[in-house]
Structure 1
């Protein structure tokens, strides 16, 4: 469907180490099956910061430069291409409907998609990988618009959820929900979460909601440890006070009746955390590896402890798109008891994106947001 051109700004990312450049571009049309989103806010995720530094090489995923970063977003329908009238749950869509969507796009027809492994789609496409110097331009969340390709999964945001709460659903929350589902975390189990950034805080809340007997959060930032308790952590371990791996492992043993954790979730993003987390696991423990996305970083590891402990490691990249619908339900059901608004309380206008990224790098904010 041809429409009048949509003009808007993007924060163009030319290469690591260079400031973002604000540029005005124009999208001439919205094609069949496509949906143009008017972005209302996009969070700064850890992977965005890694890409900004160059430690997360998007080129390995087929990404090109210049591009537009940003993927953890929420927005409203600005235009519907021919053939689009409902979201992925069948709810009607009109201009102005608020929606969230996975930031990756699958073909639904390849071998992996048909086998229920859509997050491993053989034809996977993703936000932040397209070029910002050619149509459609709006290829990442840090802009006024974002163009969803034909066939994209999207869900209507419940009226009770404000944008600042809904924005984290399509990356951080869905990712940890999917991870805990993959390892089948059960009622009465002991769960350790390594890292109390946004993913870690969501992991704490989800593990508690799934019936964990005790959730233990590990971090070194006092404000994040305090937030972890507010999100449901029964105990916290400050790495500044328990300064060695042996100290922290001993504390976990004591807090888990001497048996070790049933599930450990790694969302620190540093390889050294993995060996430590594996030591915290008890017999038949399951390790959920999410945080390490920087290729080439390694750690030393004694596999005999893994074998004799009957332990399992499950690596989680992306999530099944259907999880996002459940993430919205989780937020709707738990927003009254969780301080969700504290996660992305810091917000910056698009024109100040370089200031926002400097604050994100300094960990001044748990999850800063860009608001066009």
Structure 2
């Protein structure tokens, strides 16, 4: 099969690899659609260290090609979604309610980290009964693939912000994760959703997905503006959706005492993330900081697919570019350099 790989830090290319074989609990999927993520670019540039000929990618859907002898829920020929995070569900961390951390910190993150990813004509999924979901009739591959990561991570940001119905929330950075956090906050019943970014198209999409007010940080100080909007009170929850120290600090600054800072961003550079001491109430303002890695698992994927099936959300507004698999190297370059207003490139197989 043909696979798109990280040959070494900073270098990609195509490589012929054997079609994987499933273990007793596993499955092999024939890829039909995939998305490129900014974290794929971080991986290529060394965020998780050197890798040699590692197949990239972690967001994909496809058709079951083969299953292991102990797989009960899936059969060859079925359309399926694979979560970007594929936990080992028998692990102690998973049993304790932290499935994304199975096997250690971030241990549920296997694709294009500790095993080959999904940018190939076929890919392997561990623990298939726990990590695959059937795609309902009427939900296209182009929609379903967003459940693998963007919807799951963005919704996690809103869930971890502990938003009360009618509550207030600020979302810092309106890339794909931030936009899905906006949508998730609206779905959870937030009464005031504020989106922060500087890119006009992203600010426009934030309104489309449910932001009541957008703050252009190239024109306004986002902290001052959010405090002005909320009458100096701050928000019940702030979502950091980019992985930048300044955005995290601003999230702390605009969160009211007793509120929650939800970190959904991938902090791939720098030695430390800083907490502004005064805004944190010198450590005593009862501001909760919650972190998380994209939740995976069949139940999670089924719930997200139900949101699509019911028509409550259409994530394909994030798809700015489409490429056949043969042109994925160009798509990767566009994503890495943030060219042509890119948000998410869709790859078809």
- TM value normalised by structure 2: 0.90
Give me the whole-angstrom Cα distance separating, in 1, the residues matched to 2:136 and 2:320. Answer: 20
| SS class of match (1:294) | coil
Output the CA distance in 2 between the equivalents of 1:274 and 1:28: 40
Structure 1, unaligned runs of 5 or more: 1-7, 87-92, 132-138
In the other structure, the counterpart of 2:76 is 95
Q: State how many pairs are aligned.
A: 340
Q: Is the 8 A contact 2:143 2:314 kept in 1?
A: no
Within-5 A mapping of 1:207-222: 207-222=185-200
* Aligned counterpart, 2:14: 22
Shift of 1:271: 1.3
* 1:46 aligned residue: 38
CA 28–216 in structure 1, closer or farther in 2 if over 3 Å, else same: closer
In 2, Cα distance between equivalents of 1:217 and 1:259: 17
Which residue of the partner structure matches residue 361 of structure 1? 336
User: Which residue does the alignment assign to 2:6?
Assistant: 13
| Cα distance between partner residues in 2 of 1:203 and 1:209 | 10
Alignment pair present for 1:75 and 2:75: no
In structure 2, stretches of 5+ residues that fail to align are none
Residue 97 of structure 1: how far off its partner (Å): 1.3
Do structure 1's residue 344 and structure 2's residue 328 form an aligned pair? no
Q: Which residue of 2 aligns with 1:248?
A: 222
Shift, 1:163, TM fit: 1.1
Indicate how the Cα distance of structure 1 residues 208 and 329 shifts in structure 2: closer, same or farther if over 3 A, else same: same
2:20 & 2:48 partners in 1: Cα distance? 30
Pairing 1:304-315 to 2, within 5 Å after superposition: 304-306=278-280, 307-315=283-291
Tell me the alpha carbon deviations over residues 12-68 of structure 1, each in whole angstroms, 9 at most, x when there is no partner: 2111221x22123322744322211111111111111111222x2156xxxx42201
Q: Is the CA contact (8 Å cut-off) linking 1:72 and 1:141 kept in structure 2?
A: yes
Is residue 2:233 matched to residue 1:259? yes
C-alpha displacement at 1:174, in angstroms?
A: 1.0
Distance 1:237 1:170, change over 3 A: same
Structure 2 counterpart of 1:160, from 110, 134, 138: 138
Conserved? CA contact 1:74–1:163, under 8 Å? yes
Q: SS state of the match for residue 138, structure 2?
A: coil
Counterpart in the other structure of 2:48: 57
Cα distance, 1:196 vs structure 2:
0.9
Paired residues of 1:48 and 1:69 also in contact (CA < 8 A): yes
Measure the CA separation in 2 of the matches of 1:150 and 1:298. 35
What is the CA-CA distance between 1:289 and the residue it aligns to?
A: 0.8
1:33 aligns with 2:25: yes
What secondary structure is seen at the aligned counterpart in 1 of 2:259?
strand
CA contact (8 A) 1:22 1:351 kept: no
Distance 2:158 2:171 in 1: 11
**How far apart, CA to CA, are the structure 2 residues paired with 1:184 and 1:320?**
19
Matched residues in 1 for 2:76 and 2:92: separation? 34
Q: 1:120 to 1:277 in 2, by over 3 A?
A: same
- Residues 178 and 323 in structure 1, CA contact (< 8 A), matched pair in contact too: no
Determine helix, strand or coil for the equivalent of 1:73.
strand
**Preserved CA contact (<8 Å) 1:177 1:323:** no
Is this contact kept in 1: 2:100–2:293, CA < 8 A? yes
Please, what is the CA RMSD of the aligned residues? 2.0
Cα separation, 2, equivalents of 1:361 and 1:29: 32
| TM-score normalised by the chain length of structure 1 | 0.85
Moved over 4 A (4+): none
Query: How has the CA–CA distance of structure 1 residues 340 and 184 changed in structure 2, closer, same or farther, with 3 Å as cutoff?
Result: same
**Other structure's SS at 1:155 match:** strand
Structure 2: distance between partners of 1:174 and 1:354? 26
SS in 1 for 2:294: coil
Quick one: distance in 2 between partners of 1:275 and 1:28?
Answer: 44
| C-alpha displacement of 1:370 | 1.9
Match of 1:283 among 257, 260, 265: 257
Task: Give the secondary structure class of the aligned counterpart of 2:163.
Answer: coil
Question: Which SS does the other structure have where 1:37 is aligned?
Answer: strand
Deviations 1:182-236 (A, max 9, x none): 3422201111111111111111111001110011111111011111111111111
Does residue 1:332 correspond to 2:332, yes or no?
A: no
